[in-house]
Amino acid sequence: MPRVLVVDDEAGVRESIRMLLRGECEVLAVDSVDAALRSLAETHVDLVLLDLVMPGRGGFALLEELAKRRDAPAVLVLTGTRLEQTAERARVLGAVDCIRKPFEVEALRTRVRELLKGKP
């Protein structure tokens, strides 16, 4: 089963995405960039769902870190900001897509399925 890492400081967002994706993939959830880096060091992950605005290091810091790695997983950004340049910057740093919060459930599920296609 493919593995998805959710990085969001809001427990409710992590919980709701866990419910959304259950049965389709294994969901790991962490509340900070530092915790995400620890998880990525310990576990293979196929896809990262990443919030940008978090206390301390924000999501861009993780994107910058992953941009240096050859085997980095795909990153789908979930953000509340409506600034187009934010999405553009995330894409420049390697994010495959940027979805606005609050997201449409089916749209997110479909996009995750596409990105996990072919993953064991």
Give the binding site for another protein (CB under 8 A).
Answer: 9-13, 15-17, 19-20, 32, 52-61, 64, 80-81, 83, 86, 89, 101-106
Strands 97-100 and 47-51: unpaired
**Number of neighbours of residue 26 by Cβ within 10 angstroms:** 14
Closest to another protein by CB, 44 vs 82, is 82
The CB-of-15 to another protein minimum distance in angstroms stands at 6
DSSP classification of residue 70: T
d(CA 95, CA 116): 15
The CB-of-106 to another protein minimum distance in angstroms stands at 8
The 3-state DSSP class for residue 14 equals helix
Closest to another protein by CB, 28 vs 54, is 54
